[in-house]
Amino acid sequence: MSSHAITWDSDHNPIWQAVGLLLRPLHLALAYPSILYVAAMTVFLFRPPDLFACYADRIAFGVLVFFVALRVMALGEKIPFFAGLSLPMLGLTALAVLRALREPFDPMVWSIIASKFIVPFALFHIAALVFREASQRRHFEIFIVLALAYLVFNAIAFLVDARSLIVPRFILDESLGFHPDRARGPFLQAVANGVSLNLLGILAFVVSQKRNRFVSFLWLVLPLAVLATMTRAVWISFVLSTLVVGFRFIERRLQAVCIVLVVAGLLAGLAIGFSDHSLKNAFWDRTEERGPVVARMAVYNAGWTMFQERPFTGWPAGRMYAELGRRMEGYHLRLFYVHNTYLALLVEFGVPGLALYGVLFFNLFRLSRRAPPGESGSVTALRKVWPVLLCVYLFNAFFVDMAYQFVIGLLFTAAGILCASEEPAA
């Protein structure tokens, strides 16, 4: 044999080294699915519904599903199934998809269906697969703190009119989304931003094993960020949920929570008191503003009338928004939405849709009552405040149609983590 024969030693052969280098991302994605998960959530954070020209979130979602499915097959794992949660979610997804298939293809309709039903359904089951160990949950905890820090920074920058510090720049584009005069964050909607701040604030408080100074500082300035949303529903839910969380952790943290609330209140008062006259007027005008309330009541009346006409079959999504706009003559709005998650379900799916939604959230509330023996401290803390997180979400759902996949995904990720901790005991 020639002395120049090819050797297939993987340690020295350049071909094998090149193959190994190419397969390295595959190995990392399979070995660390939790990092891939939080990367996808990061993309969701910066992809509001109004940016139809960018489909980065769908790519990130597809990559996440692909690698998790590959990992499941490689390890011979079972896809988790929780009848009380999986079945109603599957029913809502099937209702939305089947009705959309009967209509001409509309990318906006399919984007809404994906954000409200398909993506949360998948994220819930993927989270139950991915976040089974403390090291994996740690990645999610770090993401929570960083996401909260980013949203708080942007909201306060908006409050003090430091617009040059706000990123990405599309947040300041008044032609996109809603509420350009409020701290709306990358969601382009003040309620969605406020709900995210509220949920992330609670999660950061309970899942961080060590009360480090950075998390404490975020909690100190969080009220200012919530105040900057200038949304009354968000203010109410934040105050009530913060007080409830304090009482739920009365053994160790009530005193700290009270101090935080007092200091935060003083900071908010000082910020407004020393601000210019226009800022003070903006807050007072917002608390007394009646125009949005009147417009919402008109939308609710139109939506309720549409539901009464089709109480069990609902309206196809493609025609629902056009019909709602037709019935809102005299209101010069750019887009017509029901602005109420429950009424939107009734209008689109009729009574069956709201019934499935009710069953789903009834079983979600039950997660707080099932704690398997030997559960880790962070999951136990999450289970303890789980009803508070659900109430924050459901309360704000009265004032907006929850079509923001980051907000919904955040909630169902937490639900998946709770379910994952129950699996070994099953």
Mean pLDDT of the chain: 82
C-alpha–C-alpha distance, residues 126 and 129, integer Å: 5
pLDDT of 291 > 50? The answer is no
Q: How far is CA 159 from the centre of its chain?
A: 23
319 φ, ψ (degrees, to nearest 5): -100, -15
Q: Residue type at 417?
A: I
pLDDT of amino acid 266: 53
pLDDT of 11 > 60? The answer is no
If you count DSSP H runs as helices and E runs as strands, how many of each does the chain have, helices first?
A: 18, 0
Highest mean predicted confidence (pLDDT) among 59-73, 262-276, 314-328: 59-73
Q: Which of 364-373, 381-390, 398-407 has the lowest mean pLDDT?
A: 364-373
Q: % helix / strand / coil in the chain, to the nearest 5? A: 75, 0, 25
C-alpha–C-alpha distance, residues 29 and 35, integer Å: 8
CB–CB of 39/56 below 8 Å?
A: no
C-alpha–C-alpha distance, residues 40 and 410, integer Å: 11
C-alpha–C-alpha distance, residues 396 and 162, integer Å: 28
pLDDT of 17 > 50? The answer is yes
pLDDT digits (tens, 9 = 90+) for 93-134: 999 999 889 888 888 888 889 999 999 999 999 999 999 988
Tokens of 273: 């008191």
pLDDT of amino acid 19: 59
pLDDT digits (tens, 9 = 90+) for 308-318: 999 999 998 77
Residue with the larger pLDDT of the pair 352 and 17: 352
pLDDT digits (tens, 9 = 90+) for 69-83: 999 998 888 889 999
Q: In the predicted model, what is the mean pLDDT of residues 138-148?
A: 95
Provide CB contacts within 8 A for 264, sequence distance 6+: 219, 220, 221, 222, 223, 224
Provide CB contacts within 8 A for 390, sequence distance 6+: 361, 364, 365, 411
pLDDT of 37 > 90? The answer is yes
288 pLDDT band, cuts 50/70/90, is very low
pLDDT of amino acid 253: 52
Residue with the larger pLDDT of the pair 298 and 14: 298
Report the candidate in 61, 65, 120 with the shortest Cα–Cα distance to residue 93: 120
pLDDT of amino acid 23: 63
Q: What is the CA radius of gyration of the chain?
A: 24
Counted residue by residue, the chain has a size of: 426
DSSP code of residue 5: P
Cα dihedral 59, 62, 68, 69, rounded to 10, equals -150
Tokens of 51: 């940016």
Q: Around 256, how many Cα atoms within 13 Å sit in the side-chain half-sphere?
A: 15
pLDDT digits (tens, 9 = 90+) for 319-340: 887 788 777 766 555 556 788 9
Alpha-helix residue ranges (DSSP H) falling in 76-118: 83-101, 107-113
Q: Residues of the chain with pLDDT > 70: what percent?
A: 76
The Cα angle at residue 218 between residues 212 and 222, in degrees rounded to 5: 150
Q: How far is CA 168 from the centre of its chain?
A: 18
